[in-house]
A and B are shown apart, each in its own frame.
Chain A
Amino acid sequence: MIQLDLTRRLALVAALAVTAFPATAQEGEKPAESKEKSEESKDGEKKKEEVEHWFAIQNGDVYTGTGEVLRGATLLAKNGKIHSIGYDLYIPPDTKTVDAKGYRLYPGLVAISSQGLLGNSSGDFDDTIDPFNYRMVLGLATGITTTGAGSGAVKLKRFSVDGAVVNEKIFSSFSWSNSNPRGKGELHEKLVAAANFQREYREWQRKVKDDKTLVEPTKRGVDNTVLAVLQGEQTAKFVANDRDELLGIARLAQEFNFRPVIEGCQEGWTIADELGRAGVRAIVTPRDRRPKDERQALAGGASIENAAILHKAGVAIAITPATEGVDLGGLVGRDIMHLPLEPGFAVRGGLSERAALESITIVPARILGIAHRVGSLEVGKDCDVIITDGDVLHYKTFVQWAVVDGKVVYDKEKELFFAHIRPRPEAPAPKKVDAGETPPNPDAKPADAEKEGEKKEEGGDDAKKKGEGDEKKKDG
């Protein structure tokens, strides 16, 4: 853990240092190869073995996830980290490239939670992740490159488990439920005890310098998990939906000074300001349904506007679908394979498109404590990128390539599942012709369109023209 924390901090410092330079400042700048090489020679043989892996995605529209768009830009990665994003970059020889002309780049999506994408994994991820399982392919096809799993965060590295686990022991789960009032009292007592210990310990730390005889306060009776939360080492996670429960958690958070994550949060919109003030982070499913309590005069129940109202009040919103596993049973649009559809329902309720994208990228990354590595396309972060054929939040959009740590781990055309759906122009799939069926002729007019005379088949703008034409006929 200590080691992990250290590397995390170092990476954070590095990320901050590099992002201090705007991406466009990298234009035409040659990567600092020579400098590093000279360092290598100084350090002797050991570093010579290290090979530099360069990877570039060229000509795509880069949606950084921080609000910026760089059209037709290049994203260059070195050894799995984003080296630069911009125009006219120097591409070192032997750089592996993907031409993304006409496509969009987004940060790999971060599922705040999922089931099955890592295989039948549990607990000790290093031993139980199955990087070959088909659901990982479907996860990458969805655009997910990192997922929360249990109390950890894991990358969908595919073919490999090295470095897949990016964070562990993130959450401590607590209950604050109206169905268990006694549990509320117990948690409050634990928090009081831990807070008292913290105060006494700090006081002892301050005074012990002058008076060495002072005894270190005992931890006896102090709940270690609760203490870890108060010391910021772990995040308190609640599952709660009632207004009253949510308010209770907000009060705790303010009294004991911690930032809780609340999953569900269905009635949050009714008390959004209180939750915002308490620094609550919420994991919501915009389509949740919960009827209003008809015996209450107050507004209540679930609302399609929940995410939008909470976001406006300053609550960080991560969005998760109704089902967090892969559902091939066919009831589509509700499972983890449709993660990018779910924020669309929050947009329906008034959330901005930007916040919607953030709800499945940077916000869950922050909640999982890995925002210094994933969740947006910024120099210094991991090169986890998805390349899509359109707006990632649009229902028609497919992920064409998914990149994790600077390596292409998913290519729609090379996998079984979706290659046949709107195949990429450069690699059209062979036309399927059923024996006994007439092959579809794209030039033929469908029978029900015959009455429209010589008008051409069309879509988009042409369809509009036709609509107008029809009306002209009728009016005339």
Chain B
Amino acid sequence: MFVAALIAVALGSATPPRPGEPGGRGIAVLAAKAVGVGADGRGVVDHPVVLVRDGKIETIGPAREVSIPAGYEVVDQGRRWLAPGFIDLHCHVAGGPGGLGDINDAVYLTNPELRAKATVVPGNPLLKRAVAGGVTSVLYIPGSATNMGGQGILLKTGLAKYEAMVIRDPGSLKLAQAGNPERWAVGVGRSLMNWNTRDTFERGVAYARLRDAAERGGEPVPRDIHWDIFPPLVHKDVQISTHTQRYQVVLATLTMVRKELGLDVFIDHGEWYGSKLAGYARDLGVDAILGPRAIDPPSPILDTDGKILGIAASYQEGGHPNIGFNTDSPVIPQEELPLQAAVGVRYGFDDSRMDSIRGLTIVPATTVGIAHRVGSLAPGKDADILVTSGDPVDPRSSVEVVWIEGTRVYDAEADGRIW
């Protein structure tokens, strides 16, 4: 340790890394219970110990089975719980409050080349609240004023520098199939929107295939930044996050984007009666990220015999195994993400197998292909850990401490409670 400190001083580093942080000594976090444990996030460990070093989780297990290596700082959280950091795949607040926030520029009806990352402001007040609410990773995406608002970016909310925040860039292509883009320019109907969206996709996919062929020795194809997002889409390195709600609109997502174009797509901002397609979505491998609305009221659109239906419950009853939750922050404040799961459970979503906490963590992580780094408490993953006063889904439980990649980014007692 002394040597390490000497080296740090010799290198002129202003502050040596704290325990848990990359380069620092390890920490051992003790608590009363850990949820969201293991590769599938269904595990629960009573009296857990989590060993963290270099920003990663080394081990998690019951205290009686894990021996704490010498030199590790012991952080005993007593009766509190541990949970993996929450993940929101529909976030608009990484640009902060005010006019210079997220992009929603209605340039063309489809704008696959625009990028939300141009507006990120690390450490803005809305991100600080997100962290205080336990939200550690977000998919920051453009608004829904047009059918393709542009490219989203996957970020860690609580880190101080942009380059440290980025989990993956691009994070997604934002598609909004209906509900908002009708307001573009002179007003457009669903037929034109669907046609134009499909046309954009077909051209983009064709470009990506030509670029692929060129790489394999075919005719050279010059780079066109307008279509930059399509090669990673076609290679399934990036997903399409789709604001899609009603039956017909979700059907268009499933048939057009997934079935016909073969692209990796997920339902984002899933609401209303789209749940009738839960089985079809499952069969096509399209995950369902739901919110911010959580109920379908009795209405003339679909006769429910007066039932108020939980949307997550309806997707679940339809046989969908991969259901997550989103806020559309700031429509619902970012820090209220866990409430989306709570009300989902209230209105019938079965959480007897930990699916409420999974819908806030491992499901969204898997949906966007970052489950190797985040989404559950498992060895080798980023040490994005929440300390809560109890069941992390319950609004009564407070978030007390948040680590992101082993860095303590929030401590309610030490820094003052934000949420």
- The stretch of A56-64, A94-102, A366-374, A459-467 in contact with B is A459-467
- The stretch of B158-166, B218-226, B234-242, B314-322 in contact with A is B314-322
Known: A305-B417, A393-B396. A466 touches B42 (CB 8 A): yes
Chain A contact surface mostly: loop
Name the CB-closest residue of A to B397.
Answer: A348
A380 and B310 CA atoms in complex are apart in Å by 40
A335 and B98 CA atoms in complex are apart in Å by 26
- The stretch of B101-109, B115-123, B182-190, B346-354 in contact with A is B346-354
Say whether B317 contacts A395, CB under 8 Å. no
For B417, list chain A residues within 8 Å (CB).
303-305, 349
A90 located at the interface, meaning its Cβ lies under 8 Å from any Cβ of chain B in the complex: no
Known: A328-B295, A329-B293, A467-B45. A417 touches B62 (CB 8 A): no
For A432, list chain B residues within 8 Å (CB).
317
Q: What 1/0 mask marks residues of chain A from 394 to 435 whose CB sits below 8 Å from any chain B CB?
A: 111000000000000000000011111110000000001010
B22 located at the interface, meaning its Cβ lies under 8 Å from any Cβ of chain A in the complex: no
Count of interface residues, chain A, beta-carbon cutoff 8 Å: 55
- The stretch of A16-24, A70-78, A165-173, A440-448 in contact with B is A440-448
For A447, list chain B residues within 8 Å (CB).
321
Q: What 1/0 mask marks residues of chain B from 253 to 272 whose CB sits below 8 Å from any chain A CB?
A: 00000000000000000011
Name the CB-closest residue of A to B282.
Answer: A447
Residue from A289, A328, A349, A466 in contact with B43 in the complex, judged by beta carbons closer than 8 Å: A466
Say whether A475 contacts B307, CB under 8 Å. no
Name the CB-closest residue of B to A420.
Answer: B307
Say whether B65 contacts A471, CB under 8 Å. yes
Say whether A470 contacts B38, CB under 8 Å. yes
Say whether B353 contacts A347, CB under 8 Å. no
B244 located at the interface, meaning its Cβ lies under 8 Å from any Cβ of chain A in the complex: no
Say whether B40 contacts A448, CB under 8 Å. yes
B292 located at the interface, meaning its Cβ lies under 8 Å from any Cβ of chain A in the complex: yes
**From residue A346, how far is it (CB to closest CB) to chain B in Å?**
9
Say whether A468 contacts B46, CB under 8 Å. yes
B343 located at the interface, meaning its Cβ lies under 8 Å from any Cβ of chain A in the complex: yes
Say whether A448 contacts B354, CB under 8 Å. no
Say whether A330 contacts B307, CB under 8 Å. no
Q: What 1/0 mask marks residues of chain B from 25 to 42 whose CB sits below 8 Å from any chain A CB?
A: 000000001110110101
A470 and B43 CA atoms in complex are apart in Å by 7
**From residue B166, how far is it (CB to closest CB) to chain A in Å?**
27
For A440, list chain B residues within 8 Å (CB).
317, 319
B294 located at the interface, meaning its Cβ lies under 8 Å from any Cβ of chain A in the complex: yes
How many A-B contacts are there with CB distance less than 8 Å? 160
Name the CB-closest residue of A to B332.
Answer: A331
Known: A304-B419, A417-B306, A463-B353. A345 touches B395 (CB 8 A): yes
For B33, list chain A residues within 8 Å (CB).
464
A474 located at the interface, meaning its Cβ lies under 8 Å from any Cβ of chain B in the complex: yes
Say whether B343 contacts A332, CB under 8 Å. yes
Say whether B62 contacts A395, CB under 8 Å. no
Say whether B308 contacts A348, CB under 8 Å. no
Q: What 1/0 mask marks residues of chain B from 299 to 339 whose CB sits below 8 Å from any chain A CB?
A: 00000011110110100011101100000000111001001
A417 and B348 CA atoms in complex are apart in Å by 12
A419 and B35 CA atoms in complex are apart in Å by 31
Say whether B293 contacts A333, CB under 8 Å. no
For A438, list chain B residues within 8 Å (CB).
319
Within 8 A of B (CB), among A381-396: 393-396
Known: A396-B345, A421-B313. A475 touches B61 (CB 8 A): yes
Residue from A291, A463, A471 in contact with B42 in the complex, judged by beta carbons closer than 8 Å: A463
**From residue B84, how far is it (CB to closest CB) to chain A in Å?**
13
A459 and B358 CA atoms in complex are apart in Å by 14
Say whether B306 contacts A416, CB under 8 Å. yes
Say whether B345 contacts A466, CB under 8 Å. no
A467 and B43 CA atoms in complex are apart in Å by 4
A338 and B353 CA atoms in complex are apart in Å by 25
Say whether B348 contacts A344, CB under 8 Å. no
Say whether B394 contacts A344, CB under 8 Å. yes
A234 and B397 CA atoms in complex are apart in Å by 38
B407 located at the interface, meaning its Cβ lies under 8 Å from any Cβ of chain A in the complex: no
**From residue A226, how far is it (CB to closest CB) to chain B in Å?**
39
Known: A344-B396, A420-B348, A440-B317. A468 touches B45 (CB 8 A): yes
For B44, list chain A residues within 8 Å (CB).
463-464, 466-468
Say whether A330 contacts B272, CB under 8 Å. yes
B200 located at the interface, meaning its Cβ lies under 8 Å from any Cβ of chain A in the complex: no
Residue from A328, A395, A448, A471 in contact with B345 in the complex, judged by beta carbons closer than 8 Å: A395
Name 23 A/B residue pairs within 8 A (Cβ), A-sorted: A291-B125, A330-B311, A331-B331, A333-B336, A344-B394, A345-B395, A348-B395, A349-B417, A393-B396, A394-B394, A395-B393, A416-B298, A417-B298, A421-B313, A421-B348, A422-B348, A449-B353, A463-B43, A463-B352, A466-B43, A467-B38, A471-B61, A472-B65
Known A395-B346, A467-B34; further 10 A-B contacts with Cβ < 8 A: A304-B417, A332-B347, A338-B343, A396-B345, A418-B308, A422-B348, A440-B319, A447-B321, A467-B42, A471-B62
What residues of chain B have their CB less than 8 Å away from a CB belonging to chain A?
33-35, 37-38, 40, 42-46, 59-62, 65-66, 97, 125, 271-272, 279, 292-298, 305-308, 310-311, 313, 317-319, 321-322, 331-333, 336, 339, 342-343, 345-348, 351-354, 379, 393-398, 417-419
What residues of chain A have their CB less than 8 Å away from a CB belonging to chain B?
287, 289, 291, 303-305, 328-333, 338, 341, 344-345, 347-350, 353, 393-396, 416-422, 432, 434, 437-438, 440, 446-449, 457-460, 463-464, 466-468, 470-472, 474-475
5 A-B pairs with the lowest CB-CB distances in the bound complex, closest first? A416-B306, A330-B293, A459-B352, A467-B43, A467-B44
